[in-house]
Chains A and B, each alone.
Chain A
Amino acid sequence: MGRIWRVLLVMIPIVGIVVLPPLGQRLVTLVGIYALLGLSYPLRCPLLTSAARPSSSRSSPR
């Protein structure tokens, strides 16, 4: 992940706390919560594959 992304990641909450009004802070908090929830999806990507062992009953000799 590049430097610009890292700066953006750190700046979002800082700007939220320092600059934004309460409604804006609430939105930034909500973005963080949704992002935490969203992080679980790419982690589970390896699950969205078939299992490593093929089903013998469906296979045929090659």
Chain B
Amino acid sequence: MIVAALAAAPILRLQSHYFALATLALASLINLVAVHAESLTGGANGLVGFTAGLPQGPILLGLVWFCLIPSVLAYAAFFKGSMGENARLLREAPLEAATLGIDGGLWRFLAFVAGGAYAGLAGGFSAALSGVVSPEVTGFPVMLLCLTSVVVGGVRHPMGAVLGAAVAVCLPELFRGLQGSWLLAYAAATLVVVLWAPNGLAGLLDRPRPRLPPMMPDRIAPMPGPQRLVLDRITKRFGGVVALVDVSFTLDRGEIVGLIGPNGSGKTTLLNAISGLEPADSGVILLDVTQIERLPPHAIARAGIGRTFQTPLEGETRGAGLARMLATDAVFLLLDEPAAGMTDREREELVRLLGRLRDAGRGIILVDHDIALMTRVCDRLVCLDGGAVIALGSPDQVRADARVRASFLGLPANAA
């Protein structure tokens, strides 16, 4: 656990497969040290003859399972509740998790250290059982066996680790006649599970629970918090491309401001800058008098700014992101094309929901390409083009603006 905590700082800065490669490299490093530091580790032969005072037989069995059973039950309880939902969201949509106030860095650190604690516990029991501490246990084959056994058992099921372990332990015994070829049988079993049972053996045995559609609240209660969101000369560049140029406007509680503009005009980039996902290069963002433009996304979310994204998570119904955000304490909502892909009936429900949110004192920045919808629900419109604000005012004023007509609406610059 201590080693995991020390290793976490550099390794957790890496992403995705780079993280996996770094953990493999760390294990290889430990293996090299174990082989070459003979005076400390016994070298390639390892340490033997230390089991005299350690529990054996049924006592060791009882001790192992005494640690395992509460761990599995705690795991099940953890992933069943809201904490588990947070963990799943962090895994499947880390950006959305950050904009809901989930501190991904802290979660990753705690998960890494907790994982190290379990691995250390297992290592101690393994030494007591075998009577040997050998560098072999840090080798790639052992790591691969552990990983694939969990995949076979079911990564997302509390009993997956137990079922996978049973398969990994029993298969060599069942196929003892095949001698070394039992690995072929194990590889075949792994392939079958990965292809036809992605939730593992535990997923096959458990009945899947139907997913409930997201519940939109009928009434939205007023909420204390900041009264005004101020954007002052927000500028953002990506290399030589200027995405936002001195964008300034305000959003008050109980107001819906629509953000319109052609593709690539910087609408989503502006929402990313406000929510901290892509911090602005210059400019100031204020919640009342508090500057937030340098805060991380989870801190901005906790300060009262919620965010939805254009693309819903796999398997989610429409509006799930919106429903999830409404469950937070956000008073200012950044909605990125929430009506995309909705039916007419769903759009009507969305319009009613936006009205209820406004009546309850939420401030909303709404991005959408449907100018009729925007005109209907927004109090003001802001039109971006080339990252700059080209028009700001009431929907009628903005729609009548010559530059908006030319760049966004595709109409003659002069209104008839």
Contact surface of A with B, Cβ cutoff 8 Å = 1-2, 5-6, 8-10, 12-13, 16-17, 22, 25-54, 56-57, 59-62
Select one of B111, B153, B239, B243 contacting A38, CB under 8 A.
B153
Q: Is there a chain A Cβ closer than 8 Å to B125's Cβ? A: yes
Contact of B94 with A50 in the complex, beta carbons under 8 Å? yes
- A2, A38, A62: most-surrounded residue (chain B CB, <10 A): A38
- Shortest Cβ gap from A8 to chain B (Å): 8
Contact of B297 with A36 in the complex, beta carbons under 8 Å? no
Which residue on chain A has the smallest CB distance to residue B20?
A48
Q: Is there a chain A Cβ closer than 8 Å to B223's Cβ? A: no
Bound complex: CA A1 to CA B80 (Å): 8
Contact of A34 with B149 in the complex, beta carbons under 8 Å? yes
Number of contacting residues on B, CB 8 A? 90
Residues of A within 8 A of B29 (CB): none
Residues of B within 8 A of A42 (CB): 75, 150, 155-156, 160-161
In the assembled complex, 27 residue pairs joining A and B whose CB atoms fall closer than 8 Å, in A order, are A1-B80, A5-B158, A9-B162, A17-B61, A25-B58, A30-B129, A32-B61, A32-B68, A33-B64, A34-B169, A35-B162, A36-B68, A38-B160, A39-B68, A44-B111, A45-B91, A46-B87, A46-B90, A47-B112, A48-B91, A51-B13, A51-B104, A52-B98, A52-B277, A59-B269, A61-B243, A61-B269
Indicate with 1 or 0, residue by residue over B217-252, a CB within 8 angstroms of chain A CB atoms. Answer: 000000000000000000010110101100000000
Contact surface of B with A, Cβ cutoff 8 Å = 12-13, 15-16, 19-20, 57-58, 60-62, 64-65, 67-69, 71-73, 75-76, 80, 87, 90-92, 94-95, 97-98, 104-105, 107-108, 111-112, 114-119, 121-122, 125-126, 129, 146-147, 149-150, 153, 155-162, 164-166, 168-170, 173, 206, 236, 238-239, 241, 243-244, 263-269, 272, 276-279, 296-298, 387
Contact of B238 with A56 in the complex, beta carbons under 8 Å? yes
Given contacts A17-B62, A43-B111, A53-B296, contact A37 B119 (CB under 8 A): yes
Contact of A13 with B65 in the complex, beta carbons under 8 Å? yes
Given contacts A29-B60, A36-B64, A36-B71, contact A52 B165 (CB under 8 A): no
Contact of B107 with A46 in the complex, beta carbons under 8 Å? yes
Residues of A within 8 A of B108 (CB): 46-47
Contact of A31 with B243 in the complex, beta carbons under 8 Å? no
Contact of B238 with A59 in the complex, beta carbons under 8 Å? yes
- Shortest Cβ gap from B120 to chain A (Å): 9
Contact of B297 with A52 in the complex, beta carbons under 8 Å? yes
